[in-house]
Every structure is written in C-alpha cells, then in structure tokens.
Structure 1
C-alpha cells in the first residue's frame, strides 16, 4: 500500500531518474500478488473511470490485508484487471503481459505478410468469413507475390475462415482462423463472388511468408494537378511518433508543390500518438501556433492537482516543432477534407475535432468509431515509468488504462457514436478503386467538393456486406490513442 498512500501531487511531481538497466539478466522470482498490487496501484491513481469502481476509492480498504484479500479473489492479473477494475463503459483499456511486444506494436513493428485486410461475413452463412485486401505493404511477401487491393480470399491452407458469434449480435474471427493468419507461412486461395453473391474459388493460390516489419504510416503522399489546382493527397494509416520526420517531409513536398487544398485520408487509421496528432494539425494549419487544440479531463483527483499546480499541462496547443526539434512544415490551410470510415478512431478523430474551431473541416465516407479518450503505458516502478531505476525486474507486465478524455477549444466533446460524414459514401468491396487515383470513389467525392463538381451521381450500387473486423483488431493497440509519458514534474 506504500505507493497508494503517496500524495497525488507528489506522484505527479516525481523527477525521472536515469534509464533503467536491461532486465533480461535480472529476472527474479515474483512475490505473491506482486503484479496485482502494481495493477491496482496504477489504476487507483490514474484511471479515468476511477469514480465508477468503488474498490479504487482511496479509503475503500483500511489495511493491506483487506486489499490483498480483494486481490486474491481473482484468478490472476488478467482477471483482476478486466473483471475487477475496468468500468463497463470502457472498451479500450487493456493489459499487456510483455511490454516489449506492446512497445513494438506502438512503433508499428509487427509480423506480417504485407496484407492489410478487412473482414466480412459470408452473406450466405455467418459462420464463415472472407477477407478482402485493402492495401499491400511495400517490400513484403504480399507485394512480391502480386497481392493487390480488392483481392478476396476465404481459405488459408485449405481451411475456410470461420467466425464466432459473440452473443450480442456481433461476430469475431474464430480462434482457429486467427491462428492460421498468424502462421509464419501460409497459402491463401483467392475467391470471387458470382452473380448470386456466392463465393467461388478462382483456382489462384498465393504462398505468403510473415516476417517482422516496421510499417511507415505515411502510405501515400502525392500532389494532384487537376485543371491547374494543386491538391495534396495524404493517406496516413497510423499516428506513430517514430515516423514524425517522414510525415513532416511529406508536408515539405506539399509546400514545394504549391498545394492549396488537402485531402487527408484516414479511412484505415485507428489512431496512435496524441503528440503526433497535435503536430499534424499544426502541419495542416500553421497560423494558430500556441492556440488551444484540446482541453484534457482526467479523473477528479488528477484534474484537481493539475488545476491547482500546473493548469497549462491540461492544454494541448498548436506547435511549430516535431519530436526531434525540427521545424514543422505548415500549409496554412483554411479548409480540410478528411476521408473517414468505421475504422477511423481516436487520434484521427482528435485531428478532426481539434481543427473544427479554426478551419472548415469536411468529412467524406462513413461514420467514425467515436473514441475520444487517451491512454498511457504504466510500468511497475515507483513512478510507473519505464526509464526508472526502480523498474520491477520480476516481470514484463504493463497496463494501458484510459487516463483522460478531452474537449476542443469550443468545449465540444466528440460524439460517442462517432463523427458523421458531411458527404456519405461507403467503400464498395466490389469497386474499391486504386488508392490515390482521382477516380477512386472516396477521393473522387472529396475532389468534387474542392472543385465544385456535382456529386449527386455517386452512390453505392454494390452488395452491402457486413464488416466485422480488420487486420489491426488482431493487435492490442487497435484503435488506441496514447500519450508518450506521464506529465512532466512541476518546476
């Protein structure tokens, strides 16, 4: 209980010590409930929804013995976290058994064949699924072997992709199908729909190999010259701080090309770093340096401490440098067109909400996820930080709890149901088009608004399939928005 009884302000004000040692050579036996005590301490201090969990109240347990009795009632750390400490309204806090894997995931490092896919139910039997290729990562097995956007496969190693009903009317990919997709190598069998919407194998098979890969989220950055109009197009697939330089370089090229409008394609972007989202808003604009983008709202105790001692720490502002100190390349735009879908979440939605008080932001596509809370990685150390010499060498557990929500400069809070599009058009699996091409349906609709063209003829004529997943929701970091570190100590 020692950490629990520290004053809130003291914990916030702790000065970080030097980087910790590599722990691989220091693993020691765990004491009883050691991990559970760490999880409880971190959640009790920082969890956004602390007021909704009675057991997290500072005075709930009178003694260490009472606390340990509570912790012992659960079968392990996972049971405690998900069934004892996470609020019903929380869909996004999670626990990691190995923070090294979590850190790799946040940096875009994963094992992949190079296929980014969406998942849909077989229209004739919801027990089965099919995957459709949304895009292919360069220099991967998929790109080498000719996999292309729009391809469909429903069989891996001659086994059909199957689903599991969740009991609430939704579906998930079955455990066996997830295992197949995680094999180091596998063979997909391509399929296509006939006139009755029945999936038929084409006879084409593609062998794929999965290797560790670091994905650059700046997937496409190009300038379209349409009737003399210089229009930037950026397909950005994740907010990853380790690729801020690449993002900034894309805007430098937009500057050099004389871009006067921008289409920001976030259709597959589930979010990521808050700091990178702030930088991106500043790249799009530039004329609002220092102005408020968002106002954070933590749990009542943390909020009160900030308001009393460091209120400006609650404010995110437009800035003019990226994480490595380089000056931001800004376009000074007064309007923005964003492509979003049901895969667009968290930091992507922050970009939209944060810019709305300052410039005209119009959205194209379908309704976004509606995720407006930020999380942070908490480690088992006295400061809950990784680079602390007190980092526990006994395990690799970490927790990623939601710690704050936010409003924009006009005090607008993002709608939980998601951001509805100004111009609605869903992706048609039978007619996905070529990403970045002016005639790709969603980009074409955005260009209509920029160029003043009629868009009334655009509609979805294809079959509506029930989508239920995608490549990224196999990862723990799916649709998560996070801050890099706990707030700096007060000076």
Structure 2
C-alpha cells in the first residue's frame, strides 16, 4: 500500500469538525500565574500563522506584553474553545479552520489517507423550501467497499437513516461507523417539493479502511468525428500521480482531441497534482507561473508562485516528512479548450484548476456554483522552536494540533477570486435524480450538455424526466457532503517551493 500524507491542506469543509467537543464557553478553572501549556501553544501558533491574525484583536502582538493580561486571556478555556474564539468572523469569513485532539488518527487519515469510510460519496438535498426534510443522493460507490458489497449504486436516493427520516439535524449520522439506510423506490416532483416512496427493508453499511483511487472513470467517446475523453477525477492525490499520468498516456494513444473533466465530487488535494494536471491538459506553458500563494505579514517570505513543469514528481513519507522519490515526463494532450463539470461539492484544488488554467486556455464550466474555497492551511504542531510546523519535533505531552487558514491563493495575475465559481452553463441540480446510472451514461444531464457543446448536436438519451420546476438553494451547510471535507490542498515539498522562488 502506498504511503500518503498531507503537509499543508486547503480545507474543503463547511463544518468545524474536531475530535474534541467544540465549546465556546469558558470553564470555571481559576486563572493562574502561569500560562496553560496547551493554550499557550494554541495562541502563539495562531499569532504566528493565522491568515487573518492582524484582524483579530485578541491575536495582536500586544496581548503578550502583559503576563497577567495574557494569562487571563488564554487560561480557563479548553484548547478548542480558545481556538474557535480566535477565528476571524467564524462561519462567515473563516468557514474552514479547525482544531483536533488525536495525532494518531490524524497521522493515519492525513498522512496515509487510508480512512474508515462506508465507500459511498453522497450529497444532501432539501425536499422542499423548509430545508428540514432531506434526501441523500449517492454520487458514486468505491469499488470493493462496504457500500458496494451491500449493493448500493450510483443514483440511489437515501430517505431514512436507522429508521428515521433524513433531516437537517440528523444527516451527519450518515458518517456513523455502522448505519441502516432506507432507499427510495420512486422520486417525483411537484411545483415546490420532492416526493419519495420507500423501498421495503434497509441496507446496512459498516465502515472499513478504504484507500480510494481518485481516478474513478475514464472513457473514450466518439461523436461527430471527435475523440472525446471523459475523465471522472475525485481527488488530487499525489501518490496517484503515476496513474493520472498513465491515464493521459492512454488518452494520447486514443487520439483524444476534446476533454470532459468531471470534478463534481472533487473536494481538492495535492498542489503538485493540480499543477501537473494543468500540464497534462495543455503542456505549452512550461516554467510559466500557475498559482500564487499569499501568507500573512509575518510569513511574507513564504509568498510566491508555483510554476508549471514538464515533470511530475512523486513523494513518499520518510521519518514523517514528505520526501521526493522520483519524477517522470508529463504526458500532455496539448488541448486549448476543456469542459469541466462542477457542483456545490467542487472545491479547493478543483477551483484552483479552473481559475488558474483559464489564464492559459479556454475552460468551459457546466453545472452549479462551486464552494468558493480560495484559502489554505498549514498543520500546526506544538513545536515552537520550529515555528509550529514540525511534526517530528512536536511535544508529546498532548495530542492537540491546529488546522487554521494560513494563506490565500490566486491565479498567475493575482486576480481577485470570486465568492464562488458560477458555471458558464447552469444545470438544475435536481435534474440528475433518476438519471445517475453508471459513469459515462449520457443520461447524465451534465455530461449530456458537455457533449452537445462539443459536437453541436443534440444527444439522444433515454433519460427519465424528473421535470423539477424548482431549484432549491442547496449550496449551504445542510447540503454539503461532509465526506468530502478532509482532502483540501497540500504541498509536499514546502522547503523546495521556498528554495525555487
């Protein structure tokens, strides 16, 4: 099994998940004359790295000039309460920072990226404008996973969990270790709501360790004399750079001259992979700047560009540090235009690909508004002598570590980022109900639209018409799939990035 790792993540969550209880209230612990050791780490690491440090009065350098005032500020709080109290307009500006209290879990899930999952990716949809009753649409199934073995399929609609109607209050139970789910037998639409009827019985799914291949599907389609590649890419994982490069080699041999890149379920991943993907698509702009990273004023030395390269790098984990192993020549299609499928689950490195690549070639987007995630994060450890970024030199007295936003990113011209990416061709998200079968089936309205744009022809399908006359606001907390929140954007060779500026 390949080792995987995350050094720096561009977090794709709209949830403030933590392994500890998230409490914003102070405890009744008395103020002492010495700073709490863990809280001292939390405050000083945030003071050094937090992107909005200058906007948070309680993170100003002046807070540490008075020992008594500083101790009063940080003591008497749980570490997570202190952390969340220091965020800049939490939930409005900063929607993505978190803290967690289990290095062992973090090391497995973020370094190895082998996670306990049921093996089905889903999205939550309101049944009507009240945003109370929900359904979960299964986007895809990981082959060989518990969900696959249980018989779940892409396009299944989950209506109940453990016998209870899925709602805005309980849908997070879909992340439980074991769950019994009820599936819809039928889905219909009125002018203002979705109506479902249930199948008899339930499906049981128990989580297991899963190493998901992000290259979910590739197919060559031939229409109107065009060789169209359809690639479903569900995560920017650098340990799969070789498979991604081989996929583009296959496209070369297939004579692909048009590409539909499906990023609807892609919550982000490796910066190295994102840059390599751009080169695989075009390849004519080697050594040109691709992405610009901007840190706070205390870390201006980290600011800089990541350039396009005709080589793709591979890394491995050595002594808990990502270490360069080898590189290969990139296989490029030399395309000057691509079509990208997007959704309200498209975020981070996927949005980077759209925003940065379109400075060089034409990028046509099809689908829904994306998440709007143009900031990123370092993992911070209690290693003050190493400015809180060394895992190997962290304190072993506790297991707290931080994942705050520490930088923003921009395209090569440093253009202001939009709140969200609005697609060039919008698709009603409810139109996919009853029309998601296997990947590549042109019943899928998103893929169908891309093929029509490429060929100029109407694609004949046997699609079932759900004919929804409404499109509820689904790009919100209740609709975002929490299973996609852990990937983000990470940089394997941070030291190398600095040295190459």
Name the TM-score, length of structure 2 as normaliser.
0.80
* 1:6 alignment counterpart: none
Alignment of 1:59-458 (within 5 A): 59-73=62-76, 75-88=77-90, 89-106=93-110, 108-123=113-128, 126-164=131-169, 174=170, 177-179=171-173, 181-194=175-188, 197-303=194-300, 305-306=301-302, 314-324=304-314, 325-381=327-383, 382-383=385-386, 384-388=388-392, 390-416=393-419, 418-427=420-429, 428-434=431-437, 435-453=439-457
Contact 2:121–2:483, Cα closer than 8 Å, also in 1: no
CA RMSD of the aligned region, Å? 2.8
* 2:50 is aligned with 1:47: yes
Q: 1:256 to 1:139 in 2, by over 3 A?
A: same
Question: How much does 1:485 deviate?
Answer: 6.0
CA distance in 2, matches of 1:257, 1:476: 34
2:161–2:173 CA contact under 8 A, matched in 1: no
For residues 486 and 34 of structure 1, the distance between their equivalents in structure 2, rounded to whole angstroms, comes to: 28
Deviation string, structure 1 residues 359-399 (Cα, Å, up to 9, x no partner): 111111111121111212112213223443x3211122211
- Whole-angstrom distance in 2 between the partners of 1:353 and 1:239: 16
CA distance in 2, matches of 1:486, 1:35: 26
How far is the alpha carbon of 1:243 from its aligned partner? 2.0
Once residues 38 and 291 of structure 1 are traced to their aligned partners in structure 2, the CA distance between those partners, rounded to angstroms, is 39
Q: Secondary structure at the match of 1:198?
A: strand
Preserved CA contact (<8 Å) 1:286 1:331 = yes
- What's 2:468 paired with? 462
Q: d(CA) in 2 for partners of 1:124 and 1:470?
A: 13
Q: Deviation digits for residues 395-439 of structure 1, max 9, x if unmatched?
A: 2221112122122123322201x1111111133243333322234
Alignment check: 8 A CA contact 1:120 1:465 kept? no
Return 5+ residue gaps in structure 2 as ranges.
1-33, 315-326
Say if 2:241 and 2:273, in contact at 8 Å, map to a contact too. yes
State the Cα distance separating 1:78 from its structure 2 match: 0.8
Moved more, 260-269 or 378-387: 378-387
CA–CA separation in structure 1 for the residues paired with 2:264 and 2:311: 26
Q: Does the CA contact (< 8 Å) of 2:179 and 2:205 recur in 1?
A: yes
Structure 1 unaligned blocks of 5 or more: 1-30, 165-173, 307-312
1:473 aligns with 2:467: no
With over 3 angstroms needed to count, the CA separation of the structure-2 counterparts of 1:490 and 1:214, relative to structure 1, is: closer
Q: How do 1:27-46 and structure 2 match up within 5 A? A: 33-46=36-49
What is the match of residue 7 of structure 2? none
On the 8 A contact 1:108/1:216 being kept in 2, the answer is: no
Q: Match of 2:396, SS?
A: coil
CA drift of 1:145 comes to 3.0
Q: Which moved more, 1:341-350 or 1:152-161?
A: 152-161
**Normalised TM-score (structure 1):** 0.81
Residues 216/79 of structure 1: CA separation in 2 closer, same or farther (3 Å cut)? same
The Cα of 1:463 is off from its aligned counterpart by 5.1
Is the Cα contact below 8 Å between 1:223 and 1:233 reproduced in 2? yes
How many residues of Structure 1 are paired with residues of Structure 2 in the alignment? 439
- Residues 52 and 421 (structure 1), Cα distance of their counterparts in 2 relative to 1, 3 Å cut: same
Contact kept? 1:376, 1:483, Cα under 8 Å: no
Offset, 1:32: 6.4
Q: How far apart, CA to CA, are the structure 1 residues paired with 2:213 and 2:117?
A: 13
1:169 alignment counterpart: none
Q: Please identify, of 460-469 and 248-257, the stretch whose mean Cα deviation from structure 2 is larger.
A: 460-469
- Report if the CA contact (8 A) 1:153-1:191 is conserved: no
Distance 1:102 1:322, change over 3 A: farther
Contact 1:271 1:345 in 2 (8 A): yes
SS at match of 1:323: strand
Deviations 1:74-110 (A, max 9, x none): x211111111244441111111222343344445432
Could you tell me how far apart the structure 1 residues matched to 2:161 and 2:131 are? 18
Residues 134/399 of structure 1: CA separation in 2 closer, same or farther (3 Å cut): same
1:338 CA drift (Å): 0.6
CA distance in 2, matches of 1:429, 1:72: 51
Aligned-pair CA distance for 1:251 = 1.2
